[in-house]
Structure 1
Amino acid sequence: MKAYIQTNKSGEFYNVNAFVAFEGFKNFGYEIEKFVDAHEISDNNPENIVVGGIGNIRKRLQNLNIRRPDKEIDYPEELKSFLKRNIWESTINQVFADKSSWNIFIKPKTETKLFAGKVIQTEMDFLGIINEEKDIEVLCSELIDFKTEWRCFIRYKEILDIRRYKGDWDTKIDLKTIVSAINSFTSQPNSYALDFGVNEKGETILVEVNDGHSLGTYGLSSSNYAKFLSARWSELTQTEDYLNF
């Protein structure tokens, strides 16, 4: 078993996530091989896991002739009731032209790496995201003031861990809501994250859903992180998950 893990050009792991993955897979007996760009990987064995940024993951899947949807999970149809706000599709130019629609959150609909999701309130917020040659498709969301936010790591329909990444440490999240969302998400992949937030009223509300193929650790243990990545990689490549225990 082998795990390819992304580094920078100096051979250092490109971020803390890569290092944690290295520790996890190494402790499970995986042979570790470093890479900078997924095009460097010459073997054609889909069982060999690749750990890296979303761009390199997509390159590797493409090189293995594995097709995946360009659109990320984001806001699954089955989980609309957990969002408690309006979500709609638009384009950058349409949003820019309609000032009455501002005071919203937007994120790329299909091309995830184009820009980080951001709040649109003034013309200055469009700097760096308007493309004169292409009108970028976006997902728009009404704003909610979350007091605290958590990432819930889900593996094989069970909670692997919950890690707070923003806000007050003493806020309580409603576990029943999380379990209900897992049970409602009928099209869920083998590993993914449910990001939940709690507002000033104490309501537990779904922020978004993220695919499990290239997520950050947010403090997840190295063994759990390796298991989490392995579950999604094996599903994408239709190979055996050797860490399914």
Structure 2
Amino acid sequence: MKAYIQTDKNGEFYNVNAFVAYEGFKNFGFETQKFIDVDEILDKTPEYIIVGGIGNVRKRLQNLNIIRKNKEIDYPEELKPFIKRKIWSSSINEVFNKKEWNIFIKPQTETKLFVGKVIKNEMDFLGLIYEEKDTEIWCSELVNFKTEWRCFIRYKEILDIRRYKGDWDTKIDIKTVLSAVDSFISQPNSYALDFGVNERGEMFLVEVNDGHSLGTYGLSSANYAKFLSARWSELTQTEDYLNF
């Protein structure tokens, strides 16, 4: 088996995620090969895993003529009871024209277009409005999260949970995470549930993220390789050699 790992123009791993993946796949006996742009890869073997930025991973799927849903997972219908706040679909222009301030927005389809952000006034739209097209976005009521965690889920089981924001001594309710996993009927083979706790100790589902290009957040190299392999094999309908 082989794993292609993205690097920068100097041949260095493009970030820590690429290095951790390299260590994981190498230790599992995979052949590893570096690349800068996925279009360099002429081999069309779908089971060969791609580790890189979301743009390169999705371009590889396109190059393999593999169709994936355009929209992100974000807020699955089955998990609405865990969201506990108003979430609605809109567009950049609509929010700007209606002056819907004090909300959180993020892209619906073009994940790399901008990082999710809080909108408080007109100035927060700088760099977001384009004359050529409007941008579909998700809008959310604001919640002041004291602490946030990323829960890595693989084959319907918790692989690991990593705190990525807030107080280290806040506790996460594992029963809530397990309940969300059990409720997510349409879940992919690997993904992440991001949960947050507010000042009153209430737990909210922040969002759901697809598993094909997620960062490690401190995940071990072995678990990271298993996590990526589970989703890639599902997307390409090939065997997951790390399914153990």
TM-score class, shorter: over 0.9
Equivalence for 1:123: 122
Unmatched tracts of structure 1, length 5 or more: none
Deviations 1:37-80 (A, max 9, x none): 11111101001000001100111000001000111100000001
Equivalence for 1:51: 51
Q: TM-score, normalised by structure 1?
A: 0.99
Structure 2 counterpart SS, 1:178: helix
Provide the C-alpha distance between the structure 2 equivalents of 1:163 and 1:105, rounded to a whole number of angstroms.
Answer: 23
Structure 2 counterpart SS, 1:131: coil
Structure 1 counterpart SS, 2:112: helix
Shift in Å, 1:204: 1.3
Provide the C-alpha distance between the structure 2 equivalents of 1:131 and 1:81, rounded to a whole number of angstroms.
Answer: 35
1:141-152 to structure 2, matched below 5 A, reads 141-152=140-151
Deviations 1:76-121 (A, max 9, x none): 000011000000000100000112x210000011111111100000
1:29-68 to structure 2, matched below 5 A, reads 29-68=29-68
Provide the C-alpha distance between the structure 1 equivalents of 2:159 and 2:60, rounded to a whole number of angstroms.
Answer: 26
Provide the C-alpha distance between the structure 2 equivalents of 1:173 and 1:203, rounded to a whole number of angstroms.
Answer: 10
Q: TM-score, normalised by structure 2?
A: 0.99
Total equivalences in the alignment: 244
User: Is it true that 1:140 corresponds to 2:131 in the alignment?
Assistant: no
Detail structure 1 runs of 4+ shifted over 2 Å in the superposition: none
1:192-231 to structure 2, matched below 5 A, reads 192-231=191-230
The one-letter amino acid paired with 1:110 is T
Provide the C-alpha distance between the structure 2 equivalents of 1:210 and 1:131, rounded to a whole number of angstroms.
Answer: 26
Equivalence for 1:93: 93
The one-letter amino acid paired with 2:39 is H
User: Is it true that 1:74 corresponds to 2:80 in the alignment?
Assistant: no
The one-letter amino acid paired with 1:175 is I
Provide the C-alpha distance between the structure 2 equivalents of 1:15 and 1:68, rounded to a whole number of angstroms.
Answer: 25
Equivalence for 1:111: 110
The one-letter amino acid paired with 1:109 is Q
- More displaced stretch, 124-133 vs 150-159: 124-133
Equivalence for 1:4: 4
RMSD: 0.5
Structure 2 counterpart SS, 1:11: coil
Structure 1 counterpart SS, 2:50: strand
Shift in Å, 1:147: 0.2
Structure 1 counterpart SS, 2:150: strand
Provide the C-alpha distance between the structure 1 equivalents of 2:13 and 2:21, rounded to a whole number of angstroms.
Answer: 10
Shift in Å, 1:203: 1.1
Deviations 1:168-195 (A, max 9, x none): 0000111110000000000000000000
Q: Percent identity?
A: 80
Shift in Å, 1:132: 1.2
Structure 1 counterpart SS, 2:208: strand
User: Is it true that 1:242 corresponds to 2:222 in the alignment?
Assistant: no
Provide the C-alpha distance between the structure 2 equivalents of 1:53 and 1:142, rounded to a whole number of angstroms.
Answer: 29
Provide the C-alpha distance between the structure 1 equivalents of 2:101 and 2:185, rounded to a whole number of angstroms.
Answer: 33
